[in-house]
Amino acid sequence: MSLERSIVKLSAALRAKEVSSVELTRRYLERIERHGELNAFINVDRERALAQARSADERIASGKVGPLTGIPLAHKDIFCTDGMLTTCGSKILANFVAPYDATVIERFNAAGAVILGKTNMDEFAMGSSTENSYFGPVRNPWDRDAVPGGSSGGSAAAVAAGLAPAATGTDTGGSIRQPAAFCGITGLKPSYGRVSRYGMIAFASSLDQGGILTPSAEDAAVLLNVMAGFDPRDSTSVDRPVPDYSAQLDHGIKGVTIGLPREFFGEGLGAEVGLAVEAAIDEYKNLGCEVVDINMPNCSLAVPCYYVLAPAEASSNLARYDGVRYGYRAPEYTDLTDMYKKTRSQGFGTEVKRRILIGTYALSAGYYDAYYLQALKLRRLIAEDFRRAFESCDVIVGPTTPTTAFALGAKVDDPVAMYLNDIYTIPVNLAGLPGVSVPAGFDSAGHPIGLQIIGQYFDEGRILNVAHCYQQATDWHKRIPNGFE
């Protein structure tokens, strides 16, 4: 029996009692175990998952059913889960059992979803390949020698391989959309402030946003309905009504204007990716959309801008991992300063240390104006590019990444090449806009290609609608990697 991928259909099956949550949960737990070689999970709690599934079945039996009741989910190991190990992919938190639930976890628990386990990730979400995890790299289900993208690589691989119906992720510069593209699934990063960051371990607070990786835009809408909303515990979450995202999916997109940023189709874009994106644009034309060229003159500076701001915030956010109160502490030290030095030197990986150093430097007296303040100005210019672009279009469409999944180890020694993976996704974070990546084909190596759809502030409904209509017309999102049927 092949695995049903659609959450909407799984939910219907649960409600019709064709399958129980316990059966479903067992099935995913078995698949997780069988495909351990992907290394998609850091921690799986069978007993807890089955207990949650049993209580979901009771709810179903009593008729108290929501769209997610009994649906097993995987969570990126960046979300604190009460009583569960929450490592953020780091040695420094390898022993940290969170004593509270992140708001996102709380909301999914309240909706009756089951926690299968915590997915692997780049340490502190810093990376584009999930090779920066203390728990080892994740493999791409489409090609075990290729990376799944990152930092939410564990979540992306798990959903693509059918180890979980859907998974949460976080996106600071592309960490949901890029792995979704690399693994041939749908990845939604909502607008900054749409989803609470409370309990989501901070990398760069002004950019981090929780989201989801799902088989389709339709499923993303179901999950976003639960996840989105104001949280008084997060002062940056926005108090704005949450529409029913599922209700907007089938709205016609005839007459919708799609903006194509010329800068996203220039040098650096892989030929096969470019062709696939053009084919997708043709598809939109067939669906009745209008296509216009737009200019994003400042977006070429997004990567350097990001690599000042994100490390600056990270250098401060990660100061709390000092070995004093929780987490890893070096076993031997001579005094307080030595304890700090050894704990942090041993506890953090190379990329995290690199970014702490960059960020510390950028905020230092004498450099602050030249780096941090300049980057803030650039960030405003980039947001302004988008504002102007949206005067002439409803959504912006382009490639999610310049290339498809690359080989494991190919870019580990070249951080700048690694950073350039996020050239099309980073501007969206800097502007705080919602973006979704949907599968739009494969390259000659059989690696999936992602199409990015960017919307205006809090226009998640529109981009999911535009993504859904594309998925109604194509079947790229239904392709399953060999061996994971």
Partner 1 sequence: MRWEPVIGLEVHIQLLTQSKIFSGESTRYGAEPNMQACAVDIALPGVLPVMNKEAVRMAVKFGLAVGAQINHRSVFARKNYFYPDLPKGYQISQYELPIVSRGHIDIEYDGAIKTIGITRAHLEEDAGKSLHEDFHGLTGIDLNRAGTPLLEIVSEPDMRSAQEAVSYLKKLHALVRYLQICDGNMQEGSFRCDANVSVRPRGQTELGTRSELKNINSFRFVEKAIKFEIERQIDVLEGGGTVVQETRLYDPGKDETRSMRSKEEAHDYRYFPDPDLPPLEFDESFVKAVKQTLPELPDAKRDRFMSQYGLNAYDAGVLTTAREMADYYEEVVSASGADPKLVANWVTGELSGYLNKDNREIADSAVSSTALAGMIKRIADSTISGKIAKEVLDAMWNGEGDADAVIEKRGLKQITDMSAIEKVVDEVLAANPVQVEQHASGEQKVFGYFVGQVMKATSGKANPKQVNEILEKKLRS
Question: Of the residues 21, 90, 151, 246, which is catalytic?
Answer: 151
Residues 119/77, Cβ–Cβ less than 8 Å: yes
Pairing between strand 435-442 and 41-44?
unpaired
Minimum distance of partner 1 from residue 197's CB (angstroms)? 6
Q: Does 229 bind partner 1 (CB under 8 A)?
A: no
Q: What is the DSSP letter of 172?
A: S
Instruction: Looking at residues 80 to 119 of the shown chain, list those that interact with partner 1 (rule: CB under 8 A).
Output: 80, 86, 88, 93, 96, 98-100, 102
CA dihedral 289, 294, 300, 306 (to 10 degrees): -60
* Chain Cα centroid distance, residue 227: 14
Cα angle, residue 206 at apex, residues 180 and 437 outer, rounded to 5°? 15
Residues 93/87, Cβ–Cβ less than 8 Å: yes
C-alpha span between 347 and 345 (Å, rounded):
6
Question: Of the residues 21, 76, 91, 128, which is catalytic?
Answer: 76
Q: Does 363 bind partner 1 (CB under 8 A)?
A: yes
Question: Of the residues 175, 196, 237, 437, which is catalytic?
Answer: 175
Site map for partner 1, 237-276, x if CB under 8 A? ----------------------------------------
Which residue from 360, 374, 472, 474 is in contact with partner 1, where contact means CB under 8 A? 360
* Closest CB to partner 1 among residues 8, 330: 330
Q: Which residue's structure tokens are 């584009």?
A: 128
Cα angle, residue 103 at apex, residues 63 and 20 outer, rounded to 5°? 30
* Closest CB to partner 1 among residues 206, 474: 206
* Closest CB to partner 1 among residues 119, 465: 119
* Closest CB to partner 1 among residues 90, 421: 90
Minimum distance of partner 1 from residue 465's CB (angstroms)? 30
Minimum distance of partner 1 from residue 31's CB (angstroms)? 29
Which residue from 41, 108, 284, 372 is in contact with partner 1, where contact means CB under 8 A? 372
Q: Does 340 bind partner 1 (CB under 8 A)?
A: yes
Which residue from 43, 109, 295, 316 is in contact with partner 1, where contact means CB under 8 A? 316
* Closest CB to partner 1 among residues 105, 176: 105
Minimum distance of partner 1 from residue 103's CB (angstroms)? 10
3-state secondary structure of 466: helix
Residues contacting partner 1: total by CB under 8 A: 44
Q: Does 364 bind partner 1 (CB under 8 A)?
A: yes
Minimum distance of partner 1 from residue 286's CB (angstroms)? 43
Q: Does 202 bind partner 1 (CB under 8 A)?
A: yes
The tokens of 403 are what?
Answer: 């290339």
Burial of 320 (0-12, 13-18, 19+ CB in 10 A): exposed
Farthest-apart Cα atoms in the chain, separation: 70
- 406 Cβ contact list (under 8 Å, min separation 6): 129, 146, 147
Residue 21 annotated to the active site: no
Q: What is the DSSP letter of 370?
A: I
Q: Does 9 bind partner 1 (CB under 8 A)?
A: no
CA dihedral 159, 179, 130, 206 (to 10 degrees): -110
Residue 76 annotated to the active site: yes
Helix 7-15 with 21-34: angle, nearest 10 deg: 140
Q: HSE on the CB side for 228, CA within 13 Å?
A: 27
Q: Starting at the edge strand that comes first in sequence, how are the strands of the sheet with 186-189 ordered?
A: 41-44, 114-119, 72-76, 167-171, 209-214, 186-189, 435-442, 448-454, 395-399, 257-261, 290-294
* Closest CB to partner 1 among residues 170, 400: 170
Minimum distance of partner 1 from residue 167's CB (angstroms)? 18
Which residue from 165, 199, 229, 435 is in contact with partner 1, where contact means CB under 8 A? 199
C-alpha span between 399 and 474 (Å, rounded):
17
Residue 315 annotated to the active site: no
Minimum distance of partner 1 from residue 48's CB (angstroms)? 19
* Closest CB to partner 1 among residues 168, 404: 168
Which residue from 12, 324, 370, 473 is in contact with partner 1, where contact means CB under 8 A? 324
Residues that bind partner 1 (CB under 8 A): 79-80, 86, 88, 93, 96, 98-100, 102, 197-202, 204-206, 232-236, 312-313, 315-316, 318-322, 324-326, 336, 340, 360, 363-365, 368, 372
Q: Which residues are catalytic?
A: 76, 151, 175
